[in-house]
Amino acid sequence: MANTALAPAAEPAATPSLSRGIGWVGGLLLVAFLAGFPHVVTSTYYVHLMIVIAIYAILILGLDIVVGYTGQVSLGHAGLFGIGAYAAAALFFHFKIGIWLGLVAGIGLTAAFGAILAVPALRVSGPYLAMVTLAFGTIIQIFINELTPITNGPLGITLPPVRVLDFSLIGMQAPWGSAGRKLEFYYLVCACLLATIVLVNRVVRSPFGRAFEALRDSPIACDCMGVSVYRYKVYAFVVSAGLAGLAGALFAWSERYVSPNTYSFELTVLFLLAVTMGGRKSRSGPLIGSVIIVMMPNILADIGLVRIMAGIIAAAAVVVGAQAFLRKRENRYAILIPVALCILFFPATMAMESVTDYRLTVFGLLILFVVYYLPDGIVGFLRQMIPALRPAHTAEGRSVAAEGSALIAQRGDAGAEALLKVDQALMQFGGLKALAGVDLTVKPGTIHGLIGPNGSGKSTMMNVLTGIYKPTAGTVTLAVAGGQRLDGRTPSEIALAGVARTFQNVQLFREMTALENVLVGLHHTFKGTLFDAILGTPRRRREEREARARAMAILDFMGLHALAQTEARNLPYGKQRLLEIGRALALDPVLLLLDEPAAGLTAPDIADLVAIIRKIRDAGITVILIEHHMDVVMGLCDRVSVLDFGHKIAEGGAREVQADPKVIEAYLGAPGEMGGTTTEAAHA
Amino acid sequence: MTIFLQLVASGVAVGMIYAAIAFGYQLTFATSKTLNFGQGEALAVGALFGLTLVPFTGYWLMIPLVLVFGFGLGAVVERLGVRPAIAIKSEYGWIMATIALGIIFKNVAENIWGRDDLPFPSPLPDAPIEIGGVRILPMEMLIVGGALLMMLAVEIFNRKSIWGKAVVATSNDIDAAGLMGINTKRVITLSYSISAMTAAFAGVLVAPVTLTGATMGSVLALKAFAVAIIGGLESGLGVIVGGLILGVAETLTGFYISTGYKDVPGLILLLVVLSIRPVGLFGKAVIKKV
């Protein structure tokens, strides 16, 4: 084994426990800090500031699920925040109902709106989704303004001082006296914040969190692992919206006043800044981000402080710029612009009387800075500097022992002649017939080769079989549970019916470890609901334990044991291909489709691959193999079908097909053409 | 019936403004698959810049200067916000960066021109012209004519000039265009410049019938995105149809329901179209390759 190449793999065995420990220490410090704060700093102003920070942090932790984990930009979170706030405020305004039911209503109503928002969001991503959420936020603001009977319109709603616990109901005084009573709300907000941290931690480490990350890294692969992208986007939005609603309801009671203009586009952008600046995919990042966006206006209000900070930034920029200019030859001019900007900021603040009016400009500049120079945020930067802070990928059951069998063949219907039957598949793109009525019959327990020149329709066939394309005409039948039609069903349904696949251009979940990639494949073994994940029930823990052991067994089988904790993007190319097969095996398929598994592999890697494919077949899993390496095809396949221009031109045993004149013609051109148009022959 | 026709006539003018902004979205989306989320701010800043010039130059001479201003503004947005993000292939990057630049423009404009909306002197008489019982403001006719002329000019530029052909080539296949020796980075900058120029022009067209202010563009830009979606981000003149549909829908809502809700149909339309047919009513479905 090449130790040098695998050196990083040995490390994580030690670091996760350390960083997990740091997580606990951080959590305890946070609890101690929150508990002690109002006793050390007694000023009501600062206690209120702390409340606002905690409330924003709740929302931003939820926003991180959408932005960090599913990788979508939401510009609608201020709207969701507003719904939560108005739910709580309107309940009091109309029915004199206090904070507790207000919180419940805030969470429930906002989560419902999150689900509504997810409907258009399901079909789109990226800039479209950003615009959809922006439109949503704008609509909410309009409705808050216009639905005067419910929301009291532009006047807003004023609330009385909050009463968290009502001791008069049981006829006694509050045991902590009147001074303590003022802190009841503070401690309620802190408890909500801590509960949110625990909840988000549990959700993102559950199969739900893995599904969120999987759909971010490769939506297509995610669907083909039986994890419906649609469904999990809805889950992400609902959880995120629920937290926004909780934050909104708390905010209404902490400010004791709600008005439509608070929940504006600027607030949304501020939330996004906090998530990005603090650091995505962490609990500490949103906390840091929240502190920054709440404190910033206070700092900007004090021009003296701003000048001092601008001076420090300018000095730091001079040092960093000079260092970079002397050391690095390339790109030395690229760094000059930000350095010059940082330095210019100082005289600018000296010239200005007040920067409060330029608050939004400062936020805009901060966003630009973070996007280009700190894309992983403060926490990401620290993690890069200090390895001990890196996330423990296998938070639970670190020293996983491989257990259970790697391959569980789901037998197709006994006695079925053909496991897969494709009848007259037609796939038309405009005028092009990528598949012009192809029949294909795959016998159970065989390796069936699918070959043909480039553009012959092999990958199209693969996509038709797995539901990525819906065939224009024709049927696809899989002989499980008495024969199931596959055509017209979604990729995730087909995957769950027992068809797993790999991709021609590797489609791993890049930011997840090898083990987590396989765990996404094992998603179908988890029966627990979102509540199991949030509450950490015994069922949830048992399922996680079993899945991890099984995943290790699969990695063992693929020879990837030592790389279990390595992020997929950091694996060598050959290992990535193997991992993709391992992930597909985790689906417990009856039929495995391999799309050019040997492409780009070295000779020894190919030998390993061939051995693995044989073992898979011997375990009873039927394989369809698309491949250009003829020796691999000839050595492995029990039967080979040849496609050319969307037609099946030959079928039979490997040797038989190899000798077929039509196949030779398809690959090399007809003998007659050889003399005249050599270029055409070479092209084919 | 006259009232209805009257509402349609006013809707057409508003719709053409949406079409012009949406046309700008199409330009940048075609070359680089990116959009300027600060398009509304480009419109507002263009209008405010025009307002400052009008006392010195008059309305007509102000227009070419505003076009140059918009052209430069677009180049700045592309250089600062989009190019670095394309270099690191970060979708999140350009979305956030163009939003950030938009916020900065808006904030700076608020500090220069104040937070209150300002009236924009109209170059044409305020007395409406009556055609078949429908009263139309001369300014509304100018909006329709100006917006159409702008789009026509850009289309002619794209078809006839060498730079325009480079834009079309880049839109069709950016890699192939690059291999043919077209400086695609510069073409993307150019598309941003033209896009912001269109927006700034739309700003000075719409300003005399509305009011001018730093926040005038935000909602316009969002609804123009709805128009771009209805018309299809990839398909040329679908935006005119989309703009007319939305403009008329809005004036009707404003009259028959409440002016407070007049922004709602556009946004709802955006959500509905994206839920049912993300490529737009006139767009062609793209086949994703795996």
Query: How high is the ipTM of this complex?
Result: 0.90
Report the Cα A198 to chain-centroid distance in Å: 19
**Considering only residues 653 to 672 of chain A, which have any Cβ-Cβ distance to chain B shorter than 8 Å?**
none
Please, which residues have CB within 8 angstroms of residue A372's CB and are 6 or more apart in sequence? A338, B84, B85, B93, B97
CB < 8 Å to A75, chain B: 99
Residue type, A144: I
Kindly state whether A517 is in contact with chain B, defined as any CB-CB distance less than 8 angstroms. no
Nearest residue to A248 (alpha-carbon basis) of A76, A377, A129:
A76
pLDDT given at position A457 = 86
Please check whether residue B257 touches A, CB under 8 A: no
Q: Measured between alpha carbons, how far is residue A405 from residues A551, A552, A557, B199 in Å?
A: 10, 10, 9, 63
* Amino acid at the residue A552: M
Give the minimum alpha-carbon distance from A530 to chain B in angstroms, rounded to a whole number: 25
Q: Is A335 on the interface with B (CB under 8 A)?
A: no
Angle (nearest 5°) at CA A243 between A241 and A249:
100
Q: What is the per-residue pLDDT across A424-478, written as a single tens digit (0 to 9) for each?
A: 888 888 788 888 888 999 988 899 999 888 888 888 999 999 998 888 888 898 8
Condensed to tens digits (0 to 9), the pLDDT of residues B8-66 reads: 888 898 899 999 999 999 989 988 889 999 999 999 999 999 999 999 998 899 999 99
User: Which residues in chain B show pLDDT less than 70?
Assistant: 235-236, 280-290
Mean pLDDT over A394-410 rounds to: 58
A677: left (phi over 0), alpha (psi -120 to 50) or beta: beta
Query: Could A357 and B110 be called an inter-chain contact, meaning their C-beta atoms sit closer than 8 Å?
Result: yes
Confirm or reject contact between A365 and chain B (CB < 8 A). yes
Establish if B56 touches chain A: CB-CB under 8 angstroms. no
Compute CA distances A187 → A289, B186, B223, whole Å.
21, 56, 43
| CB-CB neighbors (< 8 A) of A138 in chain B | 219, 222, 263, 267
Neighboring chain A residues of B263 at a CB cutoff of 8 Å: 138, 142
Closest CA to A108 of A205, A275, A232, A248: A248
Q: Please tell me whether residue A423 adopts helix, strand or coil conformation.
A: strand
User: Which ranges in A206-327 belong to alpha helices (H)?
Assistant: 207-217, 219-224, 229-255, 265-278, 284-300, 303-327
Res A680: pLDDT: 43
pLDDT for B289 equals 57
pLDDT greater than 50 at residue A9: no
| Interchain CB contact of A134 with B (< 8 Å) | yes
From A380's Cα to the closest Cα of chain B, the distance in A is 16
Q: For residue A330, what pLDDT is reported?
A: 59
Residue A277 forms contact with B (CB below 8 Å): no
Three-state DSSP class for residue A593: strand
The pLDDT of residue A683:
43
B108 vs A361: CB contact, 8 Å cut-off? Answer: yes
Q: Which chain A residue's Cα is nearest to B90?
A: A371
Domain range annotation of chain B: 2-276
- Is B2-276 in CATH node 1.10.3470? yes
First to last CA, chain A: 41
Asked if pLDDT for residue A684 goes beyond 50, the answer is no
pLDDT of residue A8: 39
> Quick one: closest CA in A to B80, which residue?
A368
Lowest-pLDDT choice from A165-169, A292-296, A658-662: A165-169
Average pLDDT over residues A183-208: 93
pLDDT value at residue A624: 93
Residues of B in contact with A119 (CB under 8 A): 275
Q: What percent of chain A has pLDDT over 70?
A: 89
8 A C-beta contact, residue B70 and residue B36: no
The partner residues of B202 in beta bridges, in order of sequence, read none
**Residue A151 CB-density burial (10 A; 0-12 exposed, 13-18 middle, 19+ buried):** buried
Of all helices (H) and strands (E), which one includes residue A433? strand A432-442
> What domains sit in chain A, N to C, each tagged with a CATH number?
48-264+273-278 (no CATH), 408-498+589-684 (3.40.50.300), 510-587 (no CATH)
DSSP for A642-658, written as a single string: EEETTEEEEEE-HHHHH
Residue of A573, A597, A571 whose CA lies nearest to A515? A571
Confidence (pLDDT) at A297: 85
Residue of chain A minimizing CA distance to B257: A146
**Strand pairing class (A257-258; A157-158):** antiparallel
Closest by Cβ to A120, choosing from B93, B111, B274: B274
CA–CA min distance A243, chain B (Å): 23
What is the arithmetic mean of pLDDT over A183-199?
94
- Rounded Cα distance between B70 and B58, Å, is 18
Q: What is the pLDDT of residue B108?
A: 93
Window 132-191 of B: residues touching A by CB (8 A cutoff) are: none
For residue A681, pLDDT beyond 70: no
Average pLDDT in chain A: 85
Q: CA A336: distance to chain centroid?
A: 35
Which position has the higher pLDDT, B259 or A682? Answer: B259
Q: Which residue of B has its CA nearest to A334?
A: B84
Rg from Cα positions in chain B: 19
DSSP symbols for A489-531:
S-HHHHHHHTEEE--SS----TTSBHHHHHHHHGGGG----HH
- CA of A267: which chain B residue's CA is closest? B103
Q: What is the mean pLDDT of residues A312-328?
A: 79
**Cβ-nearest to A119 among B101, B275, B288:** B275
Taking one residue from A and the other from B, the number of pairs with CB-CB distance under 8 angstroms is 128
A444/A463 Cα distance (integer angstroms): 20
* φ, ψ (nearest 5 deg) of residue A158: -100, 135
* Contact flag A131-B225 (C-beta cutoff 8 Å): yes
Q: A-chain residues within 8 Å CB-CB of B37?
A: 127, 130
Residue with tokens 């407070």: B260
Model pTM? 0.88
Q: Is the pLDDT of residue A4 over 50?
A: no
Is the C-alpha dihedral spanning B207, B211, B217, B222 positive or negative? Answer: negative
Per-residue confidence (pLDDT) for residue A403, from 0 to 100:
65
Would you call B263 and A138 a contact, using CB atoms and an 8 Å cutoff? yes
Q: Which residue has the tokens 């797993």?
A: A500
In chain A, the percentage of residues whose pLDDT exceeds 90 is 35
Q: Which pLDDT score is estimated for A655? A: 84
**What does the block give as tokens for A340?**
């010059």
**C-beta separation of A566 from A508 below 8 A:** no
Mean pLDDT of A2-25: 51
